[in-house]
Amino acid sequence: MEHKTKINHQELNKPATPLVSIIVITYNSAKYVLETLESAKVQTYLNIEVIVSDDCSMDDTVSVCSKWLEDNKGRFARTQVLTNEENTGIAENCNRGIKAGKGNWIKLIAGDDLLLPNCLCDFIEVAQKETDKYIFFSNIKILKSNMISDLLIDSRLKRSENINI
């Protein structure tokens, strides 16, 4: 007998599995954004929402993202595409995405970047141990032309010192 497990996002949104908002910042990102979104989809951490914040792209970024999110919405607790009628720059685009996120934690990523599959699991594991820390960051892995196959630099999660906000 085959048993299929359906993800219950209400159960996942307990303190042990806080909601993480992946905020994908885009501007004319149609060429790479599907790889970015796929890297969110294959996260081993399950309780995720994906917000795409687009800054008035002139290519088909918005339609590509909208279709992908519609096709994959069952994987995520929530999805949303935000659009803007004029280009306002990176900081404003990030702020729009952050304001829309409902997660306990936020992971900002550009529309031409990738997340390693265990990125959020590693992040949450450290965040739950380092409860006095508020900001975490990691090294990057630089990719050549063939995205995943050309990883060059080791990536380790870094912890910030206490920050008074």
97-115: pLDDT as tens digits: 999 999 999 999 999 999 9
Contact by Cβ (8 Å): 77, 13 = yes
Residue 25: predicted pLDDT: 98
Could you give the angle at the alpha carbon of 75 between the alpha carbons of 146 and 81, nearest 5°? 75
In this predicted structure, what is the pLDDT of residue 135? 79
Domains of the chain: 16-133 (3.90.550.10)
pLDDT in tens, 41-74: 999 999 999 999 999 999 999 999 999 999 999 9
- Provide the percentage of residues in the chain whose pLDDT is more than 90: 64
Measured distance CA(36)–CA(132) in Å, rounded: 30
